[in-house]
A = this chain, B = another copy of it.
Amino acid sequence: MQTLTSFESMQAWANATHREGLRIGFVPTMGFLHAGHVSLMERLRPEVDRLVVSIYVNPLQFGPDEDLERYPRDPEGDAAKCDGAGVDVLFMPPDLYPDGFVTSVAVDRLTDGMCGATRPGHFDGVTTVVARLFNLVRADVACFGEKDFQQLAVIRRMVRDLAMPVEIVGGPLVRDPDGLAMSSRNKYLTETDRERGLSLHRALFAMRDAATAGEKRAEALLAIGRDTLTVDKLHYLELVDAESLQRIERVERPARALVAAFLGKTRLIDNVGIV
A residues whose Cβ falls under 8 Å from a Cβ of B: 7, 11, 15, 19, 21, 97-98, 100-110, 127, 131-132, 135-136, 138, 157-158, 160-165
* CB-based contact B107/A135 at 8 Å: no
| Set of chain B residues within 8 Å of A161, measured between Cβ atoms | 97-98, 101-103, 132
* CB-based contact B109/A135 at 8 Å: no
* CB-based contact A162/B102 at 8 Å: no
The answer, among B19, B103, B107, for a CB contact under 8 Å with A162, is: B103
The CA-CA distance from A105 to B106 in the complex, in Å, is 6
Given contacts A19-B21, A21-B19, contact A7 B104 (CB under 8 A): no
Q: Taking the full assembly, how many copies of this chain does it contain?
A: 2
The CA-CA distance from A165 to B165 in the complex, in Å, is 12
| Set of chain B residues within 8 Å of A100, measured between Cβ atoms | 109, 157
| Closest chain B CB from A114 CB (angstroms) | 16
The CA-CA distance from A165 to B138 in the complex, in Å, is 8
* CB-based contact B108/A162 at 8 Å: no
| Set of chain B residues within 8 Å of A98, measured between Cβ atoms | 160-161
* CB-based contact B104/A110 at 8 Å: no
* Residue of B with least CB distance to A101: B161
| Set of chain B residues within 8 Å of A109, measured between Cβ atoms | 100, 102
* CB-based contact B105/A105 at 8 Å: yes
27 residue pairs bridging A and B, Cβ less than 8 Å apart: A7-B163, A11-B163, A21-B21, A97-B161, A98-B161, A100-B109, A100-B157, A101-B161, A102-B107, A102-B108, A102-B109, A102-B110, A102-B161, A103-B106, A103-B107, A103-B108, A103-B127, A103-B157, A103-B158, A103-B162, A104-B105, A104-B106, A105-B162, A131-B162, A132-B163, A135-B165, A136-B163
